[in-house]
A and B are shown apart, each in its own frame.
Chain A
Amino acid sequence: DAGITQSPRHKVTETGTPVTLRCHQTENHRYMYWYRQDPGHGLRLIHYSYGVKDTDKGEVSDGYSVSRSKTEDFLLTLESATSSQTSVYFCAIRPRDLTYEQYFGPGTRLTVT
């Protein structure tokens, strides 16, 4: 258990509304990641963070923004949700002393109608 929680676990929202997903970790890890999982695509990196206020884009960042004002929280925001953003979203952490190795949260299932 990497001490990662995600909230909400499930959400249904309408097209055009803003949505914020939260990832919370209890072990003070510096590196955090947001992925989306879609059938046939595996997991794709949206954004990642290497410290408070330090974030960068992943391969599928369009339509998403992130913020990290505290070490323990990494927020993913969909400014105006679209149906193509219906997906399962996973947060992950990487312990500083491990190379590439990441540990995942339980996921958030988001449906945009």
Chain B
Amino acid sequence: AQSVTQPDIHITVSEGASLELRCNYSYGATPYLFWYVQSPGQGLQLLLKYFSGDTLVQGIKGFEAEFKRSQSSFNLRKPSVHWSDAAEYFCAVGHSPIQGAQKLVFGQGTRLTINP
């Protein structure tokens, strides 16, 4: 069965420091991969997605992610974090158990805290 693992439940970084959030997936074929961000009390916002092609994808708010098939990973990165990046981040993989039933399977989430 498809699954997504985010090994880090909580990460703290200093403002201005670089960030990498880890995501590992289990999927038989070429996956459709997503990163979403959730600010406190808000819904989820799509940061970026990977379907095919260039394995380094750019998203909103200065984030990027790299798809590595050999490692079954889709890690999220940002060169320099801002206090406004404090949020919870979710990795997800597309899953179609039956024709037409396109679903997302989410990881457990990583909560990001920014130190001033």
Residues of A at the B interface (CB closer than 8 Å) are 31, 33, 40-45, 48, 50, 56, 58, 90, 92, 94, 99-107
Contacts and interface: CB of A to CB of B under 8 A. Distances in A.
Given A43-B106, A101-B49, A48 B32 contact: no
A48 B103 CA distance: 9
Given A40-B108, A101-B34, A48 B101 contact: yes
Interface string B3-19: 01010010000000000
Given A42-B109, A101-B49, A90 B94 contact: no
Contacts of B42: 106-107
Contacts of A92: 44
Q: How large is the interface on B (under 10, 10 to 19, 20 to 34, 35 or more residues)?
A: 20 to 34
Interface in B75-116: 90, 94, 100-104, 106-109
B43 interface: yes
Closest 5 A/B residue pairs (Cβ):
A100-B94, A42-B106, A104-B43, A104-B44, A43-B106
A105 B43 contact: yes
Given A42-B90, A50-B100, A58-B103, A101 B108 contact: no
A106 B41 CA distance: 8
